[in-house]
Structure 1
Amino acid sequence: MTNLKVHGSAPLDLEGDLASLRDDCARTARHWATPAPVTVPSVSPSRIHGVRVPPASARLLDAMSDYGD
Structure 2
Amino acid sequence: MTNLKVHDPAQADPDGDLASLRGDCARMAPHWAAPDRVTARPVSPSLIHGVEVPATSARLLDAMPGYGG
Flag whether TM exceeds 0.5 (same fold). no
TM-score (norm 1): 0.32
TM-score (norm 2): 0.32
Larger Rg: 2
Q: Which has the larger helix fraction?
A: 2
